[in-house]
Amino acid sequence: MLTLATAVVAAGYVSIVVAASLTVIGGVAGFWPSVVVTAVVAVALQPLRSRIVRIADRLAFGDAAAPYEALADFSRRLGERPDPDALLPALSQAAGVAVNAHHTTVQLQVDHGPDRVARWAPTRADGHGLTTEVPILHRGQHLGSLTVVMPAGHPLRAREHRLLADLADQAGLAFHNAHLATQLSAQVEEVRQHTVHLAESRQRLITAADAVRSRLERAISAQVLIHLSPLPHRLRQLADDPRQDEPGLALRLSPLVQSLTAALEGLREITRGIFPAQLTRSGLPSAVSSLLARSSTPGTLILVDDVASHRFDLSIEAAAYYCIAEGARELRHPVARIRLIDGDLDVVLTGNNPARALSVPHMRDRVDAVGGSITVRSGSDDTTIEVRIPVALLPDTVVTGIAPPALPGALSAP
């Protein structure tokens, strides 16, 4: 059958070329003119030849010749647009057209994010039959799959299986490149999100610093300036008073001394809340105990095991102290529990929070900076703040002269 179809097509093509050549040269004798005219006619009729060859292929192989046309078309489209957005639909369509499928699905696996999927389905109302999945590999790495669903009653033949394998093999390198491209895009997006989070965190830190400065200004105005403001006027009055040598001068100076003393105490209290020297000198438990004792509603410190005898990195102690100070400012009768759990410093602060106002983002930024985490749980009566920070004990971990019972307001828990 193949030989007969080939012979018929070849004879027909030769006859057409010869007839066209004779028509062009008009019967003029001469060998070389005939050869030249015949060659020109053959080239001119090349598109017709391609069409005749396709017809011959259909006569010889039926629908089996069309699939490899789809394979060639897929190769061309792959060269024109190798990006994933065009690759998956092109492969899906090429496979579906090649085997006359009910529908096809192409999947590209993505490590960071959802898989990329493209589906091709012609307009047909008949039901679907068997499903065949062909893996897409590149150097042994599984990158995706090609799933073909055939119409009912039309299973895949052996040559169609080979064709799908050829398509998957040809798409392997392209899928590898697409896989790398999607990974790169995902990593770029991850970096972008980290950049956004860092910018937000930086903005929160700036806002927190502004809030601290504003609170410091208000505290100085309320606790210091109120005592210092009248002093210049009263001192000028004393300087102009002609009775400076009288015994009553000491009585007139006594209120000024009291105002100066109150201003100094207010300054000490304010600076102690910013960063207490006691934290650097004696450690976290001692500084927290003093903080809770000075709170508007005095609190309680509970130390578990021998945590009071250890020192940690100053940044860790400062972060924990900041969270306790922020929480104690809003909680009534706060109770702080400090302990070591599995290499983490665990600080739990509990108290009543009628205002329901906590600067949690600011605390979270401070804790994130030292690699820790913070959890806030609010109930009907109490609010609990738990801070967990991975710690490394300093080489000299024993704090001499400090024991839990000696700390004011501190309790020791087993």
**Bridge partners of residue 339, in order along the sequence:** 346
Report how far residue 210's alpha carbon sits from residue 205's, in angstroms, rounded to the nearest whole number. 9
Residues 93 and 22 occupy one common structural domain? no
Candidates 164, 145, 160; CA nearest to 106 is 145
Chain-centroid distance, C-alpha 312:
31
φ, ψ dihedrals at 130, nearest 5°:
-75, 150
Cβ pair 126, 152 in contact under 8 A: yes
Tell me if residue 100 falls in helix, strand or coil: coil
Whether residues 26 and 89 fall in one domain:
no
Q: Tell whether 174 is covered by a domain.
A: yes
Strand residues in 287-368 grouped as ranges (E):
300-304, 332-341, 344-352
d(CA 348, CA 338): 7
Number of domains forming the structure of the chain: 4
The arithmetic mean of pLDDT across residues 49-65, rounded, is: 54
Question: Per-residue confidence at 368, pLDDT binned at 50, 70, 90?
Answer: confident
Helix (H, G, I), strand (E, B), or coil: what is residue 353? Answer: coil
| Residue 225, CA atoms < 13 Å, CB-side half-sphere | 7
Instruction: Identify the pLDDT of residue 405.
Output: 36
Amino acid at 260: L
pTM to 2 decimal places:
0.43
pLDDT at residue 229 tops 80: no
Residues 319 and 234 in one domain: no
- Flag whether 153 is in a domain: yes
Q: How far apart are the first and last CA of the chain?
A: 97
Q: Please report the pLDDT score of residue 308 as a whole number.
A: 81
Model pLDDT for residues 168-185, shown as the tens digit of each residue: 888 888 888 888 888 888
Alpha-helical regions (H) of 26-154: 31-44, 46-61, 65-80, 84-99
The 8-class DSSP code of residue 258 comes to H
| CA count, 13 A, side-chain hemisphere, 337 | 12
> What was the pLDDT predicted at 2?
43
Confirm whether 366 is domain-assigned: yes
pLDDT value at 51 more than 80 = no
Sign of the torsion formed by the C-alpha atoms of 127, 129, 132 and 133 = positive
| Residues 29, 27: Cα–Cα separation, whole Å | 6
Answer whether residue 10 shows pLDDT above 70.
no
* pLDDT band (50, 70, 90) for residue 335: very high
Same domain, 155 and 283: no
- Based on the domain organization, do 127 and 40 belong to the same domain? no
**Are residues 260 and 327 both part of a single domain?**
no
Tokens of 364: 């979270």
What pLDDT is attached to residue 40?
57
Contact 38, 22 (CB under 8 A): no
Greater confidence, 218 or 50? 218
Q: What does the pLDDT average to over 398-404?
A: 39
Query: Is residue 130 located within the same domain as residue 142?
Result: yes
The letter for the amino acid at 172 is G
What pLDDT shows up at residue 180? 84
Q: Which of 389, 376, 293, 385 is nearest to 339 (CA)?
A: 389
Once rounded to an integer, what is the mean pLDDT over residues 350-379?
81
- State the residue range of the domain holding 31: 2-44
pLDDT for position 401: 37
| Domain identity same for 263 and 330 | no
* Mean pLDDT of the region 26-40: 55
CA pair distance 15, 32, nearest whole angstrom: 19
Residues 26 and 105 in one domain: no
- My answer on whether 280 and 394 are in the same domain is yes
| pLDDT recorded at residue 406 | 39
CB 228 within 8 A of CB 259: yes
Measured distance CA(130)–CA(126) in Å, rounded: 13
Note the pLDDT tens digit of each residue in 126-162.
677 889 999 999 888 898 999 999 988 888 888 888 8
- 77 in the same domain as 37: no
Which comes out higher in pLDDT, residue 285 or 123? 285
The closest alpha carbon to 66, from 38, 88, 102, 95, belongs to 95
